[in-house]
Chain A
Amino acid sequence: DVKVTQSSRYLVKRTGEKVFLECVQDMDHENMFWYRQDPGLGLRLIYFSYDVKMKEKGDIPEGYSVSREKKERFSLILESASTNQTSMYLCASNGRTTWANVLTFGAGSRLTVL
C-alpha cells in the first residue's frame, strides 16, 4: 500500500515563526499535493507538484511556499506564520499510472499559530 507520511501530527507555533511541514511518500509517485482542511470549507488546494523542482499554485497559495528537491519529499513552508493559518494540513500523492488518479493522503498535520 502507498504510504504518505507527514512528519508532525501536531505543531504549535507563534505568529511570525517560520514553519516547515514535511511529507514523504514511498511509492515513487510523480504528483504531490498540499491541502488545508477547515470546517465547512472542505479541502482547499494550496500547492501541487508534478515533478522534482516543479510546483504549481493551487487555489489558496498566498502565505505559503513549497519545495520539491527529491521525488519522494514535498515540503510546505510558512515563511511567517499567522493566526489565520491555524488549520489541518493534508499532504497527498498520486502517480501517472495511479488508477483514476486517486489521491492517497497522509495522516495530517494540525498546526496552531498563537
Chain B
Amino acid sequence: GQQVMQIPQYQHVQEGEDFTTYCNSSTTLSNIQWYKQRPGGHPVFLIQLVKSGEVKKQKRLTFQFGEAKKNSSLHITATQTTDVGTYFCAGRAAGNKLTFGGGTRVLVKP
C-alpha cells in the first residue's frame, strides 16, 4: 500500500536558525497536506499543495511540492520557540484517504 516517509524524525534547532523537513511518498499523489501538532495538542491543518512544483508560503514557513508529485518539503526560516511541535505531511493518492508520514518533532533551543 501507499507509504509516506518523513525525515528527520527529530530536529533540534537553535532559535533563529533555519531547517527543512522532507516527505517522500511511494506513489504519486493528487495532493499533499501538512499538519502541525503542538505538544499535548492535536494535529491542526496548515496547508495543502496540489500542483506539480507548487510553492506556498505562510510567514516563515515555505512548503514545496515536488515536480513528480511524490515528495514535499517544509522549510522554516528563523525558527522561534512557537515553532515547537510535530509536523506531519499527509499524502492523498485517490479518494478521501490520507496517509500520514511519521512526523518531524521539532525542538527549539533558546
Contact = CB atoms under 8 A, between A and B. Distances in A.
Contacts of B4: 42
Main DSSP-derived SS at the B contact region: strand
B65 interface: no
Interface string A54-90: 0000110000000000000000000000000000001
A58 B96 CA distance: 12
Nearest to B6: A42
Contact of B31 (A45, A100, A108): A100
A102 B6 contact: no
Contacts of A108: 42
B88 A50 contact: no
29 contacts: A35-B100, A40-B9, A40-B103, A41-B102, A42-B4, A42-B88, A42-B100, A42-B101, A43-B88, A43-B100, A45-B97, A45-B99, A90-B42, A94-B96, A100-B33, A101-B96, A101-B98, A102-B33, A102-B45, A103-B35, A103-B45, A103-B90, A103-B98, A104-B45, A105-B42, A105-B43, A105-B44, A107-B41, A108-B42
